[in-house]
Amino acid sequence: MRKIALLLLLTVSIFTLSACDNTPVCTDGQVLNEKEVCVDPVLDTFTVTFNTNDGTTVASQEVEDGSLATLPTEPTKEGYTFTLWFTTDDTVDFDFTTPITADITINAYWTLFVPEITDEDLIDEDIQYVIDNLMKEPNLIDMITRGKINRSTISWSTDSIYISTTGIIIPLPKGDADMVAEVTATFSLRDTEKEHTFNITLEAQEDVVLATTRIIPFENLTTEYDVEDTNVDLMFEANGEVPYIKLTDFFDLLEGFIDPEIVFTDDTTDGILVYQYQYYDEDEDYTYDLILTVNSIENTISVNDPAFFWAYGYSIETNYGRHIEYMDDTYPGYDYVEGDDISYDLDEYNMDVVLNGGEVYLPYYIANQLFAGSSYYNVYYNYDGLYGIYAIPADDSDEMATIRTSSQNSQDIPVDMVIHNFNMIAFNLDTFYGLKDIKDVETFYTELYDRKDNLLSQDIADIEEELFDFIYKGLDDPHTSYRLSSFYNSKFASGPELTSIDQLGSRYKAMYQTDGFWDVADAIDVKWGTFEDRPDFWFLDSESVVISLDDFNTVDMEVSYTYDKVMVEDILEVTDADTVLPQVTQGSKFWYYKSSTLDENILELLIKDVNETYVTDYKAALVGLGATLITDDETTEIDYYSISVSGITYMIYVTYDTEYDILYINVVDEINTEILNDMDIAASVYSDNGVYLELVFDQIMIEQPLVENVLLDLTYNGGGNIGALYRVLGFITDEPYGVSKIDRDTYGYSTSYVSIDSGIPSYAHLKWSLLTTQVTYSAANELVAIFITEDLGDIIGMKTGGGACSITPVLLPSGTAFTMSSNSIGATRTGSGTVEDPYEYHNTEFGFEPDYALTLNVIYDEATLLAIINPAVE
C-alpha cells in the first residue's frame, strides 16, 4: 500500500513540474525556431568549385554543411591525360568521402599525354615525308630507299611503262591525253610493312623551246678526213642538257668530210628546210638529184633517196676500194628495184625538229647519226668538246683517251639526257637495225620498256649493264656488239666486259660452243699440233691445195709496179723522198702501206721479186745517203738506221723476209723503237688479203706448178672487210660477179656487178671450192652466197653461220657506243627476171647448207677432202 502511495506521489510530482515549463521538446532532428516551434533545421551550404586547369569545364556543386561533394565526370584536355583531383597537394587525391564544411576548390591535375608509338606510326611519318617531297624535278620521282624521318626501308613498284623504279618518268607520246599512273611504295620497319600508292599525272611531251647557247670547240682526230678545227654553237632548253645543233652549222662542220665537188643548196621557208645536191655516179654514168626535207611543223625528216646520207662523203686518205670496179646498169643481170622514200617521224620517239629564230635545229645525235655516222665519220660530243673520229676508235688509242676525258666523268646523267638516250636507242634500232623485220619486231620500244628500270637510271653503270645484256642476249646477233663506255663513267672505266659464255644468247653461244670457234680451233690443234703451226697452205696432192683464210682484211695502201718516190713523199710528207730513202731498183710489185698515226708518219714498203743479196746493196746505199746504223739502242734488240733530214730524224728498218720472199722497209719520222719491237712482217702481209693471196700463190706455183684445184679454207673465218672480200674474188674469177642486196631503209632490192682489175692476179683457170663451218660468218658467208649465185664452185663442210648485214656504228647521247647490223642486207637472188619468172631476193642471215656435208672430225682429213675436190685421184 505504501509502495502504491509512493508511486502516485511521484507521478503527481512530475506532472506538477511539467505544468510549470511549457517549452516543447523537439525530436527527429528538429529544432525550435524563434517561435519555439519544432522545425527542420536550416543548414549552411558551401560551394565546391572544380578548377580544371584549362581542361573542359566541370560545373561547381553546392553542398550543405557536412555533406559530401559528388565525383564529377573527368574533364579532358588536348595533349594531356587527367590524373587526379586535389586541393593543395597535387600528389594527394581529394577524398570525396570528406564532409564539406566550407567553400572549397578542387583542382584537376594533368599528365602530359605520351601516346604509345608503334612502328606503323613511325612508317606513317616516313610516308608523309615522301608525300611532301615526292617530285625531285619535273620528270623525276624521288624514290628514296630509306625513310628520312625514321629510316624505314622503302621499295617501289609500278605497272606503268612510263615510269622506272629509279623514278624517271618518260613523257607520253605527243598528242596523247594526260593519264594517271599509280606508283606503290612499300615501307618496312622491323616486322611492320605498309604500302602507300601515289597517283602520278603523266603528261604528253611538250614542244622543245631552246633557250641557252654554249660554244663548243671542235677538234678533228682522224687521219682519214681533213676536217678543220673550229667552234660550234650548240643550243639547249632552259636547265636542259640535251644538245641541239642548227643543221646548216652541222653541214658546215663537215667540210673536209664532204666531197669538195658537192654543192649544197638550202632554203628554209615556213619552218621547212630543204637541202639538196647532185651526185654523179661514175659507174652508172648517171646524176642523181638528192633532196632532204626537214619539216619542223610535221616534225619529220625525209629524203627522196637514202644515198643523200652518204653520197657526199669524201675520203682523201684511204684506198680501201683499190682494184674494184662496178659495172653500169647495162650489164646483163643488173637489177634495181627502187624502194619507198624515207621519212622519219620524230613524234614517234618524243624528239623534236625545232624552229628557233627562223632556223631549223635537230637533236645533236640525230644529226650525227644521219649525216655523219652513216658514213663512218662520227662527231663525238662529250659535254666539253666535239671530236671528229673514224667509226669507233680502238680502246688503246690516243683518240679514245681524248674523247673519254670529260668534266662529266663519274657524274650522274641528267634526267633529260637519260630520257633522250632511251629514245635514241629506240630510234636507232627501229630505223637502222637491219634485222628488225627478220626478227618480226614492230618497235623496239616494247623490249626497251621491259628493261626500263635500268635503262632509265642516272647511274651510267645501270644503263650500260642493261644495254650490254640487251645487245648480247636480247638481240643475240653476232654482228651487234658493245664498243664504248660513256664519258659519264670514269675515263679509265671500260664498261661491261664479256667474261663468260653465259652472258651470250643462244645464237651467239653457238658461234663459240658446239662446232663453233672453240671446237674448230681444237680441230686445228689436232691436225697441226697448235693453231700457230697451221700453214698458210697445204697440199692434198700435186694438183690440189688448201689455202687458209681466217679473215677478210685490208689496209690503206698504194700499189705500183716500179718504185714510185711520189707515193713515198705523200706518206712521209717529205718534199724529196730521195733525201730519206735510196730508190729501190729491183722488184716487180710495190705495196706502200699507209701506217701513219696522228703523231707519226709511217711507211711500210713491201716489194716482191727482189734478190735477197740486194738487201746488202740497199743498206750500203742508205749509209751512202748519210744514214747511221744503230746497233746499241738499249730499248730494242733490232738494229736500225737513223738519218736526219730538215730537222727530222727518221728511223729506218730494212730486211729480207724469207717466208714470203719480199724486201721489207719500214720508215718512221721519229725514233720510236716500240714500233720495231711490235713489228711482225707476217702480220703485215696477212693484214691485206690481196697481198697475202698473191704472195701465197707465188709460193704455191713454185712448189707445185701443176695445181688445178684450190680449196679456200674459211672454217675459222668470221668475216671482215667487204672490199677485201671483193678482191679475193678477183683471184677466183675474171668475170664480173653479182652482189645482191636488200635495203631495209626503202625495201628496195638490187643486184650490181663487180669486176676486179688486173692489179689482182687471176687464178680463174683453177677449180675452186670453199671449206666452211658454223664459224664461216658475215663477209665469209657473203663469199659463199656469191659462190652459190655465180656457180663458182662447191661448198664443202658444214652449214655456215650466216650474218647478212654490214655493220654500222651507233653513238648514243650518253657517249656509249655499239655496233649493229645495218640496213644493207646481203641476199641471194633466184629467178630469171622475166614476167613469168621474176627475181626473188632472199636474205642470207641464217647461212647456207654445204654441197658436201662433213663433220668436224674429218673436215681437215686429206683423203676425205681429196675424194671430193679431185675424185679422179682414186
pLDDT greater than 90 at residue 28: no
Burial of 190 (0-12, 13-18, 19+ CB in 10 A): exposed
pLDDT per residue over 498-508, tens digit each?
999 999 999 99
Mean pLDDT within 457-463: 96
Across the range 566-570, mean pLDDT stands at 96
pLDDT at 315: 56
| pLDDT value for 301 | 97
Instruction: Give the HSE-up count for residue 860: Cα atoms under 13 Å, Cβ half-sphere.
Output: 22
From CA 163, how far away is CA 199, in angstroms rounded?
12
Phi and psi dihedrals of 548, rounded to 5? -80, 130
Write the DSSP symbol of residue 604.
E
Contact 697, 690 (CB under 8 A): no
Dihedral over Cα of 92, 95, 100, 101: its sign: negative
Please tell me the predicted confidence (pLDDT) of residue 512: 92
Q: What is the pTM of this model?
A: 0.83
For residue 197, give the amino acid letter: T
pLDDT recorded at residue 494: 86
Q: What is the mean pLDDT of residues 58-67?
A: 92
The pLDDT of residue 318 is 57
Q: Does the pLDDT of residue 18 top 70, yes or no?
A: no
- Mean pLDDT along residues 189-202: 96
- Best CA proximity match to 346, nearest among 370, 325, 328: 370
Q: Is 424 helix (H, G, I), strand (E, B) or coil?
A: helix
Instruction: Decide if pLDDT at 787 tops 50.
Output: yes
CA dist 773 and 511 (Å) reads 10
Q: What is the pLDDT of residue 390?
A: 86
Options 3.30.565.10, 3.40.228.10, 2.60.40.4270, 2.60.40.10; CATH for 45-110 is: 2.60.40.4270
pLDDT above 50 (res 3)? no
pLDDT in tens, 746-763: 899 999 999 999 999 999
Using CA atoms, how far apart are residues 730 and 664, in angstroms rounded to an integer? 25
Q: Does the pLDDT at position 419 exceed 90?
A: yes
C-alpha torsion 472→473→477→480, nearest 10: -30
Residues 6+ apart with CB under 8 A from 620: none
Q: CATH fold of 517-552+693-804+844-873, please?
A: 2-enoyl-CoA Hydratase; Chain A, domain 1 (3.90.226)
CATH number of the domain at 557-687, please? Answer: 3.30.310
Of the listed ranges 152-156, 491-495, 738-742, 831-835, the least confidently predicted one is 491-495
Average pLDDT estimate for 193-220:
95
pLDDT of residue 43: 72
Query: Is a pLDDT exceeding 60 seen at residue 15?
Result: no
d(CA 702, CA 661): 12
- Alpha helix (H) ranges present in 747-833? 779-790
Reading the block at residue 793, the C-alpha cell is 664452185
Place of cell 677449180: 767
Amino acid of residue 785: A
Contacts of 824 (CB under 8 A, 6+ apart): 434, 741, 743, 805, 806
Confidence of residue 156 (pLDDT cuts 50, 70, 90): very high
Rounded to whole angstroms, what are the CA distances from 520 to 125, 530, 776? 65, 12, 11
At 656-699, the pLDDT tens digits run 999 999 999 999 999 999 999 999 999 999 999 999 999 999 99
pLDDT for 34: 74
Q: What is the pLDDT of residue 9?
A: 38
Q: What is the mean pLDDT of the chain?
A: 92
Instruction: State the burial class of residue 368 (Cβ atoms within 10 Å of its Cβ: 0-12, 13-18, 19+).
Output: buried
pLDDT tens digits, residue range 464-489?
Answer: 999 999 999 999 999 999 999 999 99
pLDDT of 4 strictly over 60: no
Q: Please, which pLDDT band fits residue 25 given cuts at 50, 70 and 90?
A: confident
Residue 726 has which C-alpha cell? Answer: 671483193
Q: What is the pLDDT of residue 573?
A: 95
Say whether pLDDT at 7 is over 70: no
Query: So what's the pLDDT on residue 559?
Result: 96
Please give the span between the terminal C-alpha atoms of the chain, in angstroms, as a whole number.
186
Q: Do residues 289 and 278 touch, judged by C-beta distance below 8 A?
A: yes
**Does the pLDDT at position 17 exceed 60?**
no
- Identify which has the larger pLDDT, 822 or 286: 822
The Cα–Cα gap between 572 and 512 comes to: 42
Residue pair 700/545 in contact (Cβ under 8 Å)? The answer is yes
Task: Scan for cell 700453214, then name that residue.
Answer: 535
- Kindly state the helix (H) or strand (E) to which residue 220 belongs, with its residue range: strand 210-220
Q: Is the dihedral of CA 183, 467, 814, 345 positive or negative?
A: negative
| Confidence grade of residue 94 (pLDDT, cut at 50, 70, 90) | very high
For residue 20, is pLDDT > 50?
no
Stronger pLDDT, 396 or 77, i.e. the higher one: 77
Q: Is the model's pLDDT at 436 over the cut of 50?
A: yes
